[in-house]
């Protein structure tokens, strides 16, 4: 199972990713939002200071 945190939304995904999760990960040009980080089984897409602080500082 992979979890990913978007700009302000958290999705828990299994073997497939829902369309709304994919739409949240892509920017207006169709590329992945930046930054995109994978830490273990978590993928963080886009910058959200609150989410970064919560994830990295525990």
Alpha-carbon distance values, 2 to 5, 28, 29, 38, 43 (Å): 10, 24, 25, 10, 7
Indicate the average pLDDT of the chain. 79
Take residue 47 and report the two structure tokens written for it. 């910058």
pTM of the model: 0.65
Q: How confident is the model at residue 41 (pLDDT cuts 50, 70, 90)?
A: confident
User: By the 8 A CB rule, do 1 and 14 touch?
Assistant: yes
For residue 2, the model assigns a pLDDT of 45
């Amino acid at each position: 199972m992979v979890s990913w945190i978007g700009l302000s939304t958290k999705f828990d995904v299994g073997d497939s990713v829902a369309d709304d999760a994919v739409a949240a990960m892509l920017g207006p040009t169709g590329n992945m939002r930046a930054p995109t980080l994978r830490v273990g089984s978590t993928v963080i897409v886009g910058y959200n200071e609150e989410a970064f602080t919560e994830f990295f500082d525990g």
